[in-house]
Structure 1
Amino acid sequence: MPAETDPLRILQVSTYDVGGGAERIAAQLMAYYRTQGHTAEMAVGIKRADDPGTYLIPNAALRGPWTRFWWRVYERMGPVSHRVRGVWRVRRLAEYLAEPGITLDRARGIQTMRYPGTRRLLDLPLQPPDILHAHNLHIDYFDLRQLPHLSRKRPLLITLHDMWLFTGHCAHALKGDWWKTGCAHCPDLALYPPIRRDATAINWARKRGIYAQSRFAIAAPSHWLLDRARQSMLMPAVTEARVIPNGVDVDTFRPANDARAVREALGLPPDAAILLFTALGIRTNVWKDYATLEAAVRQIAARIGDRPLVFVVLGESGEDETWDGAAVRYVPFQRDPAVVAQYYQAADLYLHAAYADTFPNTVLEALACGTPVVATAVGGIPEQIRGLARFDSGWNTSDPAEATGVLVGPGDAPAMAEAALALLADEPLRRQLSENAARDVRARFSLKQQGETYLAFYRELIARHAAETQRA
């Protein structure tokens, strides 16, 4: 066991090494730990970059020659599958022959766990880790059945980024509380990650059985999510549960010295009212409410008067449009955080409409850049934004000296438009909220705070695991 001040060997587990949401959180933590002198590495289901401390979980390598042969057939037919008639049938057959068990699981609605590389996680680094820290474990790469084995070998911490670990299939249960007692008769099998048939009761029961044999700690970025976890079948496995909010790199995401120059660099009009929303695959993302955003922007455009209005949609490709006089600009996903920060800095307001959200990074990034946020009060978002009390709702309770934005009800486009128009029309108030927002993120949601809180938690878990191992 490392001494209290010794560097730690940390192995995180994530779906991807490069991505949005949970993947970005894991990557930021890894980078921060390295700056503090720790050995920080990552095991991923899909590796997109070339960091030597990031390991691909060897699911494919541990499968036999039969499986590897048919996957090669499947991959080689991909480029011609849309050009040659009937190739898609052969490709589907190759997929079935490669992984008949996985194919049958999916056909039955079973969330498959046939990923043999999971058992080798602790063997991937050159030296065994002191702690294993897992993030999202869905999207077809991780075998939950290995949790009992892994949690016996090393202290295990799982950060919840959504509800998937304790539902029958979905990342967020939008309707009902069946996840508390056993999912069945699911009202929406298409929710991410989708399944073909309703095997939610089977999936839920399998997870419960696995957790009954496991021992691990959990963290959640919001009280909202941790409260749900405490009501779930996950808790028999949980040794410790804490809220650790996501953090933002406040050196990158910060107010601009010259917002006008930033607009010029991005090709945005200097005197327009600029609204921003960002997410991956915005128009197809089942958790984001793009229809409410469009309705709100159209209402703002109809009432803003002669001032030009630009709505920037970051994270979506497409031809620019006009909505009732508002210019809509689509900007593809930007990998460079410094470029992303410029879009927040250029905006007057950040709008965020969602059906479900745990603790969106985008809201924190906007606030860190001094951009007030108007957002729907779902999930953990009310824990991020200090709502301005002049807007009549139970979520908005802060005076102008502390407020950082406005919270509105889900799907309430008129309220979102009303709040945005009021802030656009009152520049002194908007500037006050801008200063509050940047200050509040530095005080509550910096990457340093998140990283140091996790490091302290790691040391507690390592010491406890060592003591339990000695007693055994």
Structure 2
Amino acid sequence: MPTLLAINNYHYRRGGADVVYLEQSRLLREQGWHVADFAMQHPSNEASDYGDHFAEEIEFGHGYGALTKARHAAKIIYSFESAAKLRRLIEKVKPDVVHAHNVYHHLSPSVLKAAHDCGVPVVLTAHDLKLLCPAYSMLSHGQVCEDCNSRGRKALLEKRCMKGSLALSGLIYLESSLHDALGLYRKHVDRVISPSRFLMNKFSEWQWDGAPLAHVPNFADVGALRPQYQPGQHFVYFGRLSREKGLLTLVDAVAKAGVELWMIGTGPLEAELQQRVAETGANVRFCGFQKGEALWQLVRDSRAIVLASECYENAPLTIIEAYACGKPAIGAAIGGIPELIRPGETGAVFESGNSDDLARVLREYARMDDADVADQGRMARAWAEQDFTVERHVSRLLQVYRDIGVKLDSGEATREMEYAA
């Protein structure tokens, strides 16, 4: 069976990209692949047989000394340590393919060059907009921004896009300029995977001249998530509590619509959200961090989930997971969200940042017959079963590997054909 070397900054479930990285590895192991891991050392990491090869931890916000901070700044731009350790791991496991996920700011794209120089085919999943936008989110001071496309990287410095800091923006400007000059992302990757068609369109608009793109949607373990179609009376948001998620707009809309919202998660905006709830009188319950069956039951008990993002979301897992639980999704019409919602069938969309428009949709769903909400939940679940299962994901992923020359044995090829069917 083939050997995969999977690379990601974190080896634990910190965010959506990390979940995809770990789940892809699990799925391929279940198919009989040998999978090796390469990540950054971290106390929260899951167990790995290859942890001794991991790169030194870099965690922003820690109280490092001046010398350590300077050394980390250099590694952010280009980590010779990560590259050297990866080469040694490649010599040990002799992978047939390297699949990288989020590597910037920690491992650095030096790992892409190291793998390419070793003659191993390299796939990179673009979980966000970093390959186009130095600030990775196309957000500047809370507003969507694409100035680097029209004005070049200097816009990053002029606008101080990184937390309003000239020093931090300067570091990221230096990083992106060097990476562009060396072609680290363009020359050393054989295929870029995009989880959304929105992102593929952005690559085209920004005249990407690197590796070809392949569309491989995100997925959920649909078979493991039990659906519950009978709708509850409240709405649910689950995810990180941060400004770009449009949660202040969501609270305002909840107050205007007179509905109930359960907010699941933690994050830097939590205190401000609680203050906004107090000011508006919105009926919001803060449920804190939840995981596993406790999380899924909270989702099942809802009427619909809401994603009010005010940034270019790529392919949010929360919508797919909600569908698997038999729930419609109400999403902002921004980024890759609209392509995951079929209005009137699996949910609804509204104008991003517009609390009045969101309140209108919330009122519609609050007044909608339970049977109609349940029907949307069934259609959402059916879509998840058709397009977003682990089987469909593995089939698409293996096709990408095959396209760049990875040899699959006859048994693997047979399973892939079964998945595609």
When structure 1 is superposed on structure 2, of 218-227 and 122-131 the one drifting more is 122-131
Match of 2:410 in 1: none
Match of 1:314 in 2: 264
CA contact (8 A) 2:214 2:400 kept: no
Give the 5 Å matches for 1:54-73: 55=51, 58-60=54-56
Match of 1:373 in 2: 329
Matches of 1:43 and 1:426, distance apart in 2: 49
Matches of 1:286 and 1:315, distance apart in 2: 13
CA contact (8 A) 1:370 1:438 kept: yes
Query: Alpha-carbon deviations, 1:81-135, whole Å to 9, x = none?
Result: xxxxxxxxxx66xx222353445x69xxxx5323512332243375221110001
- Does 1:132 pair with 2:75? no
1:185 counterpart SS class: helix
Give the 5 Å matches for 1:6-25: 7-18=1-12, 19-25=14-20
Aligned pair in 2 of structure 1 residues 116, 49: CA closer, same or farther (>3 Å)?
closer
- Does 1:243 pair with 2:215? yes
Gaps of 5+ in 2: 408-421
1:165 counterpart SS class: coil
Query: Alpha-carbon deviations, 1:293-350, whole Å to 9, x = none?
Result: 111111121xxxxxxx5311111287986676654222232342x3322121111011
Match of 1:30 in 2: 25
Greater fraction helix: 2
Alignment TM-score, normalising by the size of structure 2? 0.82
Alignment TM-score, normalising by the size of structure 1? 0.73
Residue 203 of structure 1, aligned match among 164, 175, 190? 175
Aligned pair in 2 of structure 1 residues 423, 205: CA closer, same or farther (>3 Å)?
same
Q: CA deviation at 1:420?
A: 1.7
- Does 1:383 pair with 2:354? no
2:257 counterpart SS class: helix
| Greater relative contact order (Cα < 8 A, sep 6+) | 2
CA contact (8 A) 1:59 1:115 kept: no
Matches of 1:192 and 1:38, distance apart in 2: 45
Match of 1:97 in 2: 67
Query: Alpha-carbon deviations, 1:150-192, whole Å to 9, x = none?
Result: 2232000000011112323333342134146621132342359
Match of 2:245 in 1: 288
What count of residue pairs does the alignment treat as equivalent? 386
CA contact (8 A) 1:298 1:324 kept: yes
Q: CA deviation at 1:20?
A: 1.9
Q: CA deviation at 1:57?
A: 5.2
Q: Output the amino acid matched with 1:224.
A: F
Gaps of 5+ in 1: 1-6, 64-70, 79-90, 261-271, 302-308, 389-402, 465-472
CA contact (8 A) 1:373 1:406 kept: yes
CA contact (8 A) 2:235 2:303 kept: yes
CA contact (8 A) 1:115 1:143 kept: no
Give the 5 Å matches for 1:62-211: 95-103=65-73, 112-114=77-79, 116-124=81-89, 126-138=92-104, 140-153=105-118, 154-173=120-139, 174-179=144-149, 182-186=152-156, 187-190=159-162, 196-198=168-170, 201-211=173-183
Matches of 1:435 and 1:286, distance apart in 2: 32
- Does 1:342 pair with 2:297? yes
Matches of 1:98 and 1:49, distance apart in 2: 22
Matches of 1:193 and 1:216, distance apart in 2: 35
Residue 224 of structure 1, aligned match among 176, 198, 203? 198
Aligned pair in 2 of structure 1 residues 347, 57: CA closer, same or farther (>3 Å)?
farther
Taking only the aligned residue pairs, the percentage that are identical comes to 19
Aligned pair in 2 of structure 1 residues 432, 188: CA closer, same or farther (>3 Å)?
farther
Aligned pair in 2 of structure 1 residues 58, 25: CA closer, same or farther (>3 Å)?
closer
Larger Rg: 1
Query: Alpha-carbon deviations, 1:140-159, whole Å to 9, x = none?
Result: 32132343332232000000
Aligned pair in 2 of structure 1 residues 244, 56: CA closer, same or farther (>3 Å)?
farther
RMSD of aligned C-alpha atoms? 3.1
